[in-house]
Amino acid sequence: MEAAAITTWTFVDACPIPNDVMELMVPGEQPVAAFKTFRDSAIFTTKRMIVRDAQGFTGKKVELYSLPYSATNMWSSENAGTFDTDAELELWTRAGHIKIRVGKKVDVRRLDMLIAHSVLGAQH
């Protein structure tokens, strides 16, 4: 039985870390990598994954999702096959099941290592 994802995002391509992300950081937290989504960006930090989702016609309203690595129970990654266009990353967290579609310009194994380093490093 497969649990339905509570939310799904698509990471289109790697991008520079947005300049305004530092205002979201807590002491000791640093941005590590960023990825373009359809409407905004996702940022991996040393403590969590932040997904910014621009809303509305102008995109001025922004919803922020913050997933601390400590809330991640399990994850899986699947590279794109011969006929698949996108790879997938799935996270099972205390908040629920999250699915991330990974565009062909993004290295899914790099994402897997970012999560592994952050989740496993956070548990010591």
Reduced to 3 states (helix: H, G, I; strand: E, B; else coil), residue 69 is: helix
**pLDDT of 23-55, one tens digit each?**
999 999 999 999 999 888 999 999 999 998 877
Distance CA 73, CA 1 (A): 18
Distance CA 78, CA 96 (A): 19
- The residue-averaged pLDDT of 1-24 equals 80
- The residue-averaged pLDDT of 64-87 equals 83
Sorted by where each starts, the structural domains of the chain and their CATH numbers stand as 7-122 (2.30.29.50)
Question: Considering the entire predicted model, what is its pTM?
Answer: 0.81
Average pLDDT, the chain: 84
